[in-house]
Every structure is written in C-alpha cells, then in structure tokens.
Amino acid sequence: MLVVFIGPPGSGKGTQANQLCQHLSITHLSTGDMFRAAIQDETELGVQAQEYINRGELVPDQLVVSMVADALGNPPCNSGCLLDGFPRSLPQAEALDQMLDAEGKKVDLALELNVDEKVLIDRLLARKRPDDTIDTIHHRLQVYREQTSPLLNYYRERGQLRTVNGDGTVDEVHQQILAEVAEKNP
Ligand code: B4P
C-alpha cells in the first residue's frame, strides 16, 4: 500500500505517520527527516536544503524529487510505503505519479490532516525546532496555502483523497486514519 500524507506544518504528519507505519508494517519516508539528517551530516544536499528550511520555503522540487526517487528504489519500500511531507507541490505530485507509473504502481490513499491555523501555531511554538519561529511559521502556512493545498484537488479529482480532522488527541486522529485505511485496504 502506498499512502501520502498532506497537511500544513504542525498538523501531525510525522506523529501520525510513525503510528500508521507501525500498524501497517510499511516503510516511513519523511522528506523533512531526510533533510534534517542531511543537515546534521553536513552533506551537499543538507547545506543546500538548510537555507530554504530556515526561511520557511520549500526546498526546490528537483532536489526533493531525486532524493525521493532514490529512497523509493530501496527494497524496504517494495512492501508498502508512507510518504510523509511529500509531495508538497503539483510538480512533485506529477513526478511521483510518473515514478510510480513506471513501476506499475499508484498512490492508494492521499490523507489530508486538517487542523485550524491557531492550533497549528500553538503546537509549532511548543515544539521549539529551529525552523519554528513565529515569522517562519506564518510564512510556512502561506507557502502551504499557495503551493501545497492545490494537491487536495489533484488527489480529489483522482478519487484518492480522504480528509481527517487532525484537531483531536493523537489517538483520536490515529483511529480516524485507521478507519480511512480500512476502507481503502479492507
Ligand atoms: P516536515 O518535517 O515535514 O515538518 P512539519 O510539516 O513542520 O511537521 P508535521 O506536520 O510532520 O508535524 P509533527 O507531527 O511534527 O518539514 C520541515 C521542512 O522541510 C519544510 O518546512 C520544508 O522546508 C522542508 N520540506 C520537507 N518536505 C519537503 C518537500 N516535499 N518539498 C519541499 N520542501 C520540503 O507535529 C508537530 C507538533 O505537534 C509536535 O510537537 C507534535 O508532538 C504535536 N502534535 C502532533 N499531533 C498532535 C495532536 N493530535 N495533539 C496535540 N499535539 C500534537
């Protein structure tokens, strides 16, 4: 099964992805985690990504797409995969569909985590990650509205989108996600 998580910063994509991957025994691919590892290891990709992340911008599509293409080619992804934070733009979604098409695969489920902006801001400020300053958070929310939210229609038109209310406890949200997954993958 191939699942994609879509949601604004702080909507709980990483939190819920961990739980769902454990439940389904599928591989968790978080582009945010991959960038943070590259930054920590001071790789060329990390150095390039860091300036975008610190400004609250999306890392350029070509860097993200080649990173994900490499990861998807790894054997652990063959038995199922959850993409957490990818795609985040229409060109990324189109690139993903092309990669999957070449393998005779497709996105089984695109899950939107829908959370009120005020709740998002409170959660992110409490998290205290270096890119979680108030100015950067506002910019990331604007980037989400402009560049990522068009993906909702993209997946809706393909019949792949389901939306859950991400403004509950971690367990309440997890239960809603399990219900959507069970419908798609009985
Ligand atoms: P990500 O790492 O994907 O991070 P995020 O969107 O900020 O957070 P997420 O939604 O995963 O929230 P979390 O579970 O942690 O991206 C970081 C940056 O990398 C981006 O801004 C961008 O620059 C770059 N990037 C990543 N992917 C990219 C791509 N495809 N293209 C271009 N650039 C890309 O939860 C947040 C907080 O809320 C946590 O503290 C958590 O404990 C708490 N929380 C979660 N669920 C909760 C709940 N139900 N109730 C209360 N608190 C909850």
Between CA 81 and CA 79 the distance in angstroms is: 7
Angle of helix 117-127 relative to helix 134-143, nearest 10 degrees, comes to 130
pLDDT digits (tens, 9 = 90+) for 103-154: 899 999 999 999 999 999 999 999 989 999 999 999 999 999 999 999 999 9
pLDDT range class, residue 73, cuts 50, 70, 90: confident
The model carries a pTM of 0.94
Amino acid at 112: E
Name every protein residue with a CB atom under 6 angstroms from any ligand 1 atom. 7, 9-15, 31-32, 35, 52-53, 58-59, 64, 85-86, 88, 92, 123, 127, 140, 169-170, 173
**Ligand 1 pocket test target in 4, 13, 18, 145 with most atoms within 8 Å of CB:** 13
Name which of 19, 10, 48 is nearest 125 in CA terms. Answer: 10
Q: What pLDDT sits at residue 123?
A: 95
